Chains A and B, each alone.
Chain A
Amino acid sequence: MTFTRATTIEEAVTAMAAGARPIAGGSDLVVGARQGKAPLPDVLVAIDRIDDLRGIETSGQGLRVGAGVTHAELIGNETVVSSYTAVADAAALVGSPATRNVGTIGGNVMNASPAMDTGAPLLVLDGHAVLKSVDGSRSVNMADLWTGPGRTSADPGELCVAIELPPQPERSGSAYVRLEYRRAMEIAVVGAAAAVTVSEDGTIETGRVALTAVGPAIIEVADASVLMSGRDAKEAGAAAETAASKSATPISDLRAGDDYRRHTVGVMARRAVKAAAARARGETIAVPVNRSAGVGAAS
């Protein structure tokens, strides 16, 4: 096995063009290898010391999150928490403090697990992955990026260097809620993210809903905006609940049966819409929603 450490994106993509796999926190790659899911790749290029992958920047174009930004950094970023709150909700639920300190958003996105927590939030907030290779750069929206469990449309030589999110409109809010059986070291059984805009009277104008762990990849609820538009949060939540359960194609496994997943993903969608609408109306619901208003909220 060879292991090199890149200090620039160019070094990293050059190594990748020659067949290397990138590694940042290693929280999927190393843990997976230890569990015998897949052996560690023969050639690894470490990307955790590349300055250009770090940092969260706000501009007129919105938010640019370096692929090497950790979950802990996302939770600590004011803009993420105030304007892209669903991402913070999700990042705050990942693993443990140790996982959140080493696991990166780029890793989470490119690992493409259907149970990834940041995926549904990025989808409803219209996130794009910026992919770079020796041949150039392109931007891919999340729906086109994830093609199946553990699979993306990125070429092996492409490195995710950043996630870009557009500016969020006035009177908008987002939230991510997941079903969890315990409050730390948990993986999503199901989850749902919602992003909505509300009119001055508080009814939903537009909205998107995406679902975690109920299909081969993160899936979006089709026509969520149409279903929710013009309704108050409660009605919109109910509509999202029904639509989410219908959209879900869950499997039965150790963590839950398909019926239970189909039901609870609806519940998560309803709660996410409700929390997103409240935030859009300017109410404060602390991050993560799971601890302040969702499943097993604090007493």
Chain B
Amino acid sequence: MPLVTEAERFIRSDGPDKVTGSGRYVADLSLTGMLTAKFLYAGVPHARITKLDVEPARQMSGVFAVITQDDVPERRFGSVADRTLFAQDVVRFEGEVIAAVAAIDDDSAQRAIDAIVFEYEELPPLTDLEEAIKDGALLVHENWESYAAGSVVRDGNVASFTSIERGDVDEGLADSDHVITSRYVADASHAAPIEPRGVVAQWEGDRVTIWSSTQVPFQARDGVCETLDLPSNRVRVVVPHLGGGFGGKCGFHYEAHVAALARAARRPVRLVFSREEEFLAPDRRREGMIVEITTGMTNDGDIKARKAKVLLDNGAYSADSSFFPHMAAMHAIGPYVIENVSAEASSIYTNHQPSGSVRAPTAPQGCWAVESHTDELAAAIGMDPVEFRKRNCVDTGRMSATGQVFDEIGLQQCLSDAVDGLGDISNLPEDESIGVGVGWWGSFPGASGAYVKIDSDGRGVIITGAQECGTGSVMTLPILVAKELGMDPDDFELVYQDTSAAPYDSGATGSQTILNNGRATVEAAQQVAAQLKDLAAKELEAAPEDIVLVDGRAHVAGSPEAAVDISRLARIASRGEMLLGRGSGTPAEYPSAVGVSCVGDQDLSWWVGPQFSCHAARIRLDRDTGVVRVLEVSTAHDSGVIINEVGAAGQVEGGVLMGIGQALTEGTVYSEDGGQLNPAFLDYKLQTIADAPRIKTSFVEVHTPGMGPHGSKPIAEAPNVATAAAISNAIAKLIGRPVRQLPMTAERVWAEARS
């Protein structure tokens, strides 16, 4: 049962601000003397800069600063250190920043941008993944070998490579009764948060405060320190309310550009992106992908071997994409018991916008491919696809394709629950069908810290590095602390999203808030609880270990009549040793993969704290037009014990809606030379609330020790894994075969149906 059930829901502390419109976001900030920032972008996907002269812009009235790479330290950054803040010599995608301007107002800034002399010689753009890996292909980065890249395996246009090998895949295929090969292509897509990003920077002496719409303020701070050569204690990143992120606001984006502008201008500077900039410029596009999977199986439907090859569109730079091939390889293998596997995945440099973490990177497309393929396997031997999965999916004690034996997991239960959740599906109309997909996703243990204090009136504050871009931390952290202290979640306020106030946290990334910051916050609360028990023990003349904290009071276990209010203890503490807890805790260790050989290992072959899910979709197809309408999605998730049911259900519902968009309407369209053709919401079609199906959610609460507090596992990204797969399989049932390109637009469904 969830720690806090839906019936016990309460108003989240940032809710009224956001619902009434009184909440302040970065674009709402205004500082005395503040200037407007604008960027000059490359505008072409691939070119050599022949002339860049900003002097005419600098001479203009109302213009306070114009900067280029010449005005910042020579520093390369990224998971492969392949880029600089501003373009240098060569531009590699259309949204690359050439120069930045700070001016008195928008018009002045635009005039300055227009006055910059920017000349270039166009180079042929590289946009096709399969062309890019051919011998003799043009290199996106001629000097790729000189970049620092840690352990990332690279070669020319291959920005990152991973292979996973176990058993003997050729023998396994040779021993199979059926061998089926499928190829799937996923278009790139976008996180598309409703708030375009904004950054404000203000210097006071040699210290800078940066307000940024980032999901990861500490990472943003570190990026500023690295690229502008500053110590961490002179850079403070503060995040006002965030208008969504979906991974798109992970990473380090433009905080350094604006800080450098503000320093040069000697004034506060504000950058706010237009929607078009939000589409074109950040290195956070969901990667396009080509997936080829070959599976061998017996006549009885036992999978014997799987071979997979995945090509990912890295785009021009490697923001955080170096781990994507390993992740994609895991999704191409899928949560199946397979003795012989061989998977290879490469992230390929192109002259497209750089790819980066968008909610569950590589998973929706990878899962869509492998799960569509799975239905093809089941169809080939006439087996029910749910039955086929039950037979082949991992389970408690069963060994995965990479040799991992799982402790108790709930995938098989998820399969049953999700399908059952659709109700009677025996007599669907002829234009309706159901499809099922299963998915998996890992957890990412890491360092995180928090403070908890209770002031003299008995009210508490949680000072945390955690983020709120939809993570639900404003609800879950007070829940966790209140549970330890026998208090109410409403007794606590959060101080958060401020790198100078709180200890480190990696931010709203990798579904890690409850897992890591929850652990830290609980530890901090436990210290306060121990202090309260000591104080109560003195007041009640009892032993501290006999004291319990319940309903805002402390008493000896079993003797609630003689109790002391926590607020009274707080008053006593305020005059002496104050109620202050600090927590960090020890992150769970990554298991080391045994029995599987990996090239380019990124610690992902063996999941830690894996989450499993099954989504079952009921759709209707308009056969005349190919328009698919999703009528119902029934989901089941093993994310361990659920902390906050309302928050968890919200994650699933949002994930499903995002998944429907990826399945049917959301895809970036490129021109032949690598420019985005639909960087706007009219033609990059998100799902609207009018499109939302009925969504049913069931939590398979497997108590998972050693992960998040109370036996929990993460839930933020897992709901964004299996929806497109389920929809694909439902479509395939109606038209006889899968639509092999994502998104499965109406036109593609129609074309496939009549081919």
Q: Does A229 contact B (CB under 8 A)?
A: no
List residues 1-37 of chain B with CB under 8 A from any CB of chain A: none
In the bound complex, CA of A184 to CA of B682 (Å) = 11
**A182–B690 contact, CB under 8 A?**
yes
**A267–B625 contact, CB under 8 A?**
yes
Question: Which residues of chain B are near A35, meaning CB under 8 Å?
Answer: 680
**B751–A260 contact, CB under 8 A?**
yes
B190 to chain A, nearest CB (A): 15
Q: Does B115 contact A (CB under 8 A)?
A: no
Contact with B along A171-184 (1 / 0, CB 8 A): 00000000111111
Contact with B along A252-269 (1 / 0, CB 8 A): 001111001001100100
Question: Which residues of chain B are near A282, meaning CB under 8 Å?
Answer: none
Q: Does A295 contact B (CB under 8 A)?
A: yes
In the bound complex, CA of A14 to CA of B682 (Å) = 36
- The secondary structure that dominates the A interface is loop
Chain B minimum-CB-distance residue to A266: B624
Which residue among B624, B685, B689 has the maximum number of chain A CB atoms within 10 Å of its CB?
B624
In the bound complex, CA of A293 to CA of B750 (Å) = 19
Question: Which residues of chain B are near A185, meaning CB under 8 Å?
Answer: 681-682, 688
**B625–A264 contact, CB under 8 A?**
yes
Q: Does A296 contact B (CB under 8 A)?
A: yes
**A299–B620 contact, CB under 8 A?**
yes
Which residue among A35, A181, A183, A184 has the maximum number of chain B CB atoms within 10 Å of its CB?
A181
Question: Which residues of chain B are near A256, meaning CB under 8 Å?
Answer: 747
Q: Does B678 contact A (CB under 8 A)?
A: yes
**A257–B747 contact, CB under 8 A?**
yes
Q: Does B677 contact A (CB under 8 A)?
A: yes
List residues 205-232 of chain B with CB under 8 A from any CB of chain A: none
**B665–A296 contact, CB under 8 A?**
no
List residues 181-204 of chain A with CB under 8 A from any CB of chain B: 181-187
Contact with A along B683-706 (1 / 0, CB 8 A): 101011111000000000000000
Question: Which residues of chain A are near B685, meaning CB under 8 Å?
Answer: 181-182, 186
In the bound complex, CA of A172 to CA of B91 (Å) = 62
**B664–A181 contact, CB under 8 A?**
yes
Chain A minimum-CB-distance residue to B632: A299
**B627–A179 contact, CB under 8 A?**
yes
A138 to chain B, nearest CB (A): 34
In the bound complex, CA of A260 to CA of B625 (Å) = 8
Chain B minimum-CB-distance residue to A270: B624
In the bound complex, CA of A267 to CA of B747 (Å) = 14
Chain A minimum-CB-distance residue to B661: A182
Chain A minimum-CB-distance residue to B754: A263
A275 to chain B, nearest CB (A): 14
In the bound complex, CA of A263 to CA of B625 (Å) = 8
**B687–A182 contact, CB under 8 A?**
yes
Question: Which residues of chain A are near B681, meaning CB under 8 Å?
Answer: 185
**B688–A183 contact, CB under 8 A?**
yes
- State whether A181 and B631 are in contact (beta carbons under 8 Å apart), knowing that A254-B669, A254-B678, A295-B622 are contacts in the complex: no
**B631–A295 contact, CB under 8 A?**
no
Question: Which residues of chain A are near B343, meaning CB under 8 Å?
Answer: none
A50 to chain B, nearest CB (A): 30
A234 to chain B, nearest CB (A): 14
Question: Which residues of chain A are near B625, meaning CB under 8 Å?
Answer: 179, 264, 267, 295
Question: Which residues of chain B are near A267, meaning CB under 8 Å?
Answer: 624-625
In the bound complex, CA of A260 to CA of B665 (Å) = 16
**B688–A181 contact, CB under 8 A?**
no
**B688–A182 contact, CB under 8 A?**
yes
List residues 613-672 of chain B with CB under 8 A from any CB of chain A: 620, 622, 624-625, 627, 629, 631, 664-665, 669
In the bound complex, CA of A179 to CA of B665 (Å) = 14
In the bound complex, CA of A198 to CA of B69 (Å) = 73
**A296–B627 contact, CB under 8 A?**
yes
Which residue among B624, B625, B669 has the maximum number of chain A CB atoms within 10 Å of its CB?
B625
A207 to chain B, nearest CB (A): 21
B94 to chain A, nearest CB (A): 16
List residues 241-257 of chain A with CB under 8 A from any CB of chain B: 254-257
Question: Which residues of chain A are near B687, meaning CB under 8 Å?
Answer: 182
A267 to chain B, nearest CB (A): 4
Name the one of A179, A255, A263 contacting B683, with C-beta atoms under 8 angstroms.
A255
**B745–A181 contact, CB under 8 A?**
yes
**B627–A295 contact, CB under 8 A?**
yes
In the bound complex, CA of A180 to CA of B629 (Å) = 11
Question: Which residues of chain A are near B688, meaning CB under 8 Å?
Answer: 182-185
In the bound complex, CA of A255 to CA of B665 (Å) = 11
A297 to chain B, nearest CB (A): 8
Question: Which residues of chain B are near A257, meaning CB under 8 Å?
Answer: 747
**A181–B665 contact, CB under 8 A?**
yes
In the bound complex, CA of A264 to CA of B624 (Å) = 7
Chain A minimum-CB-distance residue to B622: A295
In the bound complex, CA of A257 to CA of B626 (Å) = 13
Q: Does B746 contact A (CB under 8 A)?
A: yes
B438 to chain A, nearest CB (A): 25
Question: Which residues of chain A are near B745, meaning CB under 8 Å?
Answer: 181
Chain B minimum-CB-distance residue to A187: B682
A266 to chain B, nearest CB (A): 9
B676 to chain A, nearest CB (A): 11
Chain A minimum-CB-distance residue to B689: A184
In the bound complex, CA of A257 to CA of B677 (Å) = 15
B298 to chain A, nearest CB (A): 40
In the bound complex, CA of A145 to CA of B624 (Å) = 33
List residues 62-113 of chain A with CB under 8 A from any CB of chain B: none
B694 to chain A, nearest CB (A): 9
B750 to chain A, nearest CB (A): 6
- State whether A296 and B747 are in contact (beta carbons under 8 Å apart), knowing that A181-B627, A183-B688 are contacts in the complex: no
In the bound complex, CA of A260 to CA of B746 (Å) = 10
- State whether A299 and B691 are in contact (beta carbons under 8 Å apart), knowing that A35-B680, A182-B665 are contacts in the complex: no
B625 to chain A, nearest CB (A): 5
In the bound complex, CA of A254 to CA of B750 (Å) = 16
In the bound complex, CA of A184 to CA of B665 (Å) = 13
**A260–B624 contact, CB under 8 A?**
no
In the bound complex, CA of A296 to CA of B664 (Å) = 13
A264 to chain B, nearest CB (A): 5
A26 to chain B, nearest CB (A): 17
**A254–B691 contact, CB under 8 A?**
no
Question: Which residues of chain B are near A255, meaning CB under 8 Å?
Answer: 683
Name the one of A183, A260, A264, A295 contacting B691, with C-beta atoms under 8 angstroms.
A183
Question: Which residues of chain B are near A187, meaning CB under 8 Å?
Answer: 682
Question: Which residues of chain A are near B620, meaning CB under 8 Å?
Answer: 296, 299
B672 to chain A, nearest CB (A): 14
In the bound complex, CA of A260 to CA of B687 (Å) = 22
Chain B minimum-CB-distance residue to A256: B747
**A296–B624 contact, CB under 8 A?**
no
Contact with B along A269-299 (1 / 0, CB 8 A): 0000000000000000000000000011001
Chain A minimum-CB-distance residue to B629: A296
Question: Which residues of chain A are near B664, meaning CB under 8 Å?
Answer: 181
Question: Which residues of chain A are near B690, meaning CB under 8 Å?
Answer: 182-184
A54 to chain B, nearest CB (A): 29
**A254–B683 contact, CB under 8 A?**
yes
In the bound complex, CA of A299 to CA of B691 (Å) = 12
Question: Which residues of chain A are near B747, meaning CB under 8 Å?
Answer: 256-257, 260
Which residue among B689, B690, B745, B747 has the maximum number of chain A CB atoms within 10 Å of its CB?
B747
Chain B minimum-CB-distance residue to A263: B750
- State whether A296 and B622 are in contact (beta carbons under 8 Å apart), knowing that A182-B665, A257-B747, A260-B750 are contacts in the complex: yes
Further pairs besides A183-B690, A254-B677, A296-B627: 4, Cβ < 8 Å: A181-B665, A184-B689, A185-B688, A296-B629
9 tightest A-B CB contacts, nearest first: A183-B690, A184-B690, A184-B688, A296-B629, A267-B624, A260-B747, A295-B627, A299-B631, A254-B683
Mind listing 14 A-B residue pairs with CB under 8 Å? A179-B625, A181-B627, A181-B664, A182-B665, A182-B687, A182-B688, A187-B682, A254-B677, A264-B750, A295-B622, A296-B620, A296-B622, A296-B629, A299-B620
Q: What residues of chain B have their CB less than 8 Å away from a CB belonging to chain A?
A: 620, 622, 624-625, 627, 629, 631, 664-665, 669, 677-678, 680-683, 685, 687-691, 745-747, 750-751
Q: What residues of chain A have their CB less than 8 Å away from a CB belonging to chain B?
A: 35, 179-187, 254-257, 260, 263-264, 267, 295-296, 299
